[in-house]
């Protein structure tokens, strides 16, 4: 308020200032009781102004979150609320709506990656509701995604992610991985689970969420008789998919679209332009030759 007063003072002419001063001198001072009555009014006005400002900021924040997540609802559930880890989750992610913002940001990144065009060439997977839940017990994986009816998805986070001092990064990775799984088509549940997990792992590496394990330091991936896209290690599948993407840019997005209406291994053959097993053989041969140098 003081800055406003300083800005106004130069605008007053000398005559106006003199007249005001003279008028003030001629005006009798306020009765002490009247002055005392005005103090609570001024204090109450200040409090009301601050409360109004806080409410306005809250409304704007809610509106912004709604606009960013338009098309689907977001619900945060804390099943470990009575535990230390649950209270930490509530403090850092629930009370300040950080969990909601985390889901929104993760969704925007994944959607931009999988569905970059708005010309109808990339049909987006319908999602009506995302529930981010801190489970009541630890699980083997930090994040387990469950799908329900009416395009509702539940992201179950293991309470163990809230342990340690670096829990922020762990939670971020878990949510990003879960949201990536939500927006990815899965051949109506018939696509190989290893392929779906491999695509998620590929996205995590290329979005900078996790560090690639293979392909950048000369390390050789575990070798197995398993087909490259059906390997039990999702990181091995991700590396193979990266090899295919480099050969045919845009393959991952086309693969996601191919999984929209069911699944058949011949779809991958068609996208690669040859039997996928041949590409897998060439890839493994290349990796072997590189590691032997």
pLDDT digits (tens, 9 = 90+) for 140-170: 999 999 998 899 999 999 999 999 999 999 9
Higher confidence at residue 45 or residue 135?
135
Residue spans of the domains in the chain: they are 71-183, 187-293
Confidence of residue 2 (pLDDT cuts 50, 70, 90): very low
What was the pLDDT predicted at 20? 37
Buried b (16+ CB within 10 A) or exposed e, 193-208: ebbbbbbbbbbbbbee
Cβ–Cβ < 8 Å for 235, 210: no
What was the pLDDT predicted at 121? 72
Q: How many Cα atoms are found within 13 Å in the side-chain-facing hemisphere of 74?
A: 23
Listed residue (76, 189, 179) closest to 134, CA to CA: 76
Strand partners, 76: 132
Query: What is the share, in percent, of the chain residues with pLDDT greater than 70?
Result: 69
How many helices and strands in the chain, by DSSP H and E? Answer: 11, 4
Cβ–Cβ < 8 Å for 196, 181: yes
Residue 64: is its pLDDT beyond 50? no
């Amino acid at each position: 308020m003081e800055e406003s007063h300083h800005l106004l003072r130069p605008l007053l002419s000398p005559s106006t200032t003199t007249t005001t001063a003279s008028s003030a001198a001629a005006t009798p001072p306020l009765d002490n009781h009247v002055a005392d009555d005005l103090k609570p009014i001024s204090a109450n006005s200040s409090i009301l102004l601050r409360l109004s400002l806080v409410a306005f900021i809250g409304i704007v924040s809610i509106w912004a979150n709604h606009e960013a997540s338009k098309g689907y609802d977001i619900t945060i559930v804390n099943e470990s609320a009575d535990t230390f880890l649950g209270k930490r989750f509530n403090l850092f992610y629930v009370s300040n709506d950080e969990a909601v913002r985390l889901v929104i940001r993760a969704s925007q990144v994944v959607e931009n990656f999988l569905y970059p065009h708005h010309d109808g060439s990339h049909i987006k997977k319908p999602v009506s509701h995302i529930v981010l839940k801190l489970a009541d017990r630890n699980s083997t994986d930090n994040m387990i995604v469950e799908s329900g009816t009416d395009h509702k998805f539940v992201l179950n986070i293991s309470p163990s992610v809230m342990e340690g001092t670096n829990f922020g990064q762990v939670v971020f990775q878990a949510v990003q991985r879960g949201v990536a799984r939500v927006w990815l088509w899965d051949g109506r549940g018939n696509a190989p689970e290893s392929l779906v997990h491999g695509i998620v792992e590929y996205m995590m590496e290329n979005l900078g969420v996790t560090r690639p394990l293979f392909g950048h330091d000369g390390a050789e991936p575990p070798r197995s008789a398993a087909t490259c896209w059906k390997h039990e290690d999702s990181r091995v599948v991700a590396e193979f998919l990266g090899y295919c993407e480099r050969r045919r840019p845009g393959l991952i997005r086309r693969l996601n679209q191919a999984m929209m209406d069911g699944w058949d291994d011949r779809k991958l053959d068609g996208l690669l332009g040859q039997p996928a097993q041949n590409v897998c053989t060439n890839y493994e041969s290349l990796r072997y030759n590189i590691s032997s140098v």
